[in-house]
Amino acid sequence: MKTYQSSSKTGKAVLVLEDGSTFVGHGFGATKQVSGEIVFSTSMVGYPESLTDPSYKGQILTFTYPLVGNYGVPPYDKEQGVLKYFESDTIKATGFIVHELCKHPFHWASQRTLDQWLKDEDIPGIYGIDTRKLTKKLRVHGVMLGILKVYEADEEPDLEQLRKEVKTVPDPNSTDLAKQVTVKEPIFYPSGGDKTAVLLDCGVKYGILRNLLRRGFDVYRVPYDYSLEQVMDYKPDGVMISNGPGDPKQCIKTIETVRQLVDMDMPMMGVCLGTQILALALGGDTYKLKYGHRSQNQPALDLETGRCYITTQNHGYTVKRESIADTGLIEWFKNANDQTVEGVKHKTKPAFALQWHPEASPGPYDTEFLFDRFRKLAEEH
């Protein structure tokens, strides 16, 4: 095993929120200015997976766990054409906020420091600020827009200028973020199995791909705005609606395709954003949560069995419970903390969706059996 030292030569860094709140700390990663929605995750591990999760597109991510980077960054190894240790090919978060940055990671698989990785990917980060104070503010106010700027070593921050600029920061959720992270052309992933799945890529995590391949699905990963005809060209045994960033109501073409697929009894599984898209496709509604669910310990309660699962989640929107009354969907899971909808399934059609990530990455893996359910639906229909 080796230790790696940080290569950072950045200077100060500043985080400014839309209400004028200012946090001054130390910069790491790229020296640049970015803006976005400030969110927090209470995950204790999994920063390589979180930073590469496309659902964080447009967001500046805060980790509440006090020390981040201690096991470095793993290699870009692949298995069946899919990265093993990351959830996409590049960092998707706009910026990164931590309390303490580990500059000397120690792990057998580490290839570089977190600082060097962010620098290589041109992503700015800030450390040395009170992330507990920041998180408490976001919990009370809700997620906020903000600016993160990392300065060169000899630069001094202009706080007043940043406070002026933050008033004009655009809301990333007002744009079609899924369009920015979906695959541009179809990609085929062979498993050698006997079933075919079409994956509507709204910003898929690679953990979903890995689970489909392990269950004998040959996977066609297609752009999120594919039509029914384009999807059916692949003669799928089932369709997966992936996770992704932003407001689900921006995915207009995806919603229409899913509506048509449900009408023709196509076996379907949705994850995270896929849950919201399924509900919208059938006439339901969605709304934005105050500060979202971003952690690895969200309790999802099965309303049929009474069993509660600990789940990984990353979403800022959810399904409005009363809106699904006449859609053919029934609530299957709910969050034991805030009672929000966590899963739905159709009364008569082979379609279901979960508001959490059953593929987890980095864990827990308690609900991977739901991929087996999808496989069974594909076999039966």
Cα distance from N-terminal residue to C-terminal residue, the chain:
50
| Partners of 30 in the β-ladder | none
**What architecture is domain 10-172?**
3-Layer(bba) Sandwich (3.50)
Beta partners for residue 198, in sequence order: 220, 239
Question: What does the alpha-carbon distance between residue 23 and residue 134 come to, in Å, rounded to a whole number?
Answer: 9
Find how far residue 275's CA is from the centre of its chain: 13
Residues of the chain with CATH 3.40.50.880: 177-380
Q: What's the pLDDT at 8?
A: 53
The dihedral built from the CA positions of residue 226, 227, 233 and 237, taken in this order, carries a sign that is positive
Q: Give the residue among 278, 287, 294 at the shortest CA–CA distance from 247.
A: 287
Cis peptide preceding 362, ω within 30 of 0 = yes
| Domain 177-380, second-level architecture | 3-Layer(aba) Sandwich (3.40)
- Helix (H) and strand (E) counts in the chain: 10, 21
Residues of the chain with CATH 3.50.30.20: 10-172
Listed as ranges, residues in the chain with pLDDT below 70 are 1-8
**What is the rounded distance in angstroms from the CA atom of residue 214 to the CA atom of residue 223?**
22
Residue 252: per-residue pLDDT: 98
Within 10 A of 302 (CB to CB), how many other CB atoms are there? 15
Question: What is the structure's pLDDT at 10?
Answer: 82
Asked whether 16 and 159 are in contact (CB, 8 A), the reply is yes
User: What is the DSSP secondary-structure string of 335-357?
Assistant: ETTT--EEEEEESSSSEEEESSB
- Give the catalytic positions in this structure: 272, 357, 359
Q: Give pLDDT, residue 1.
A: 40
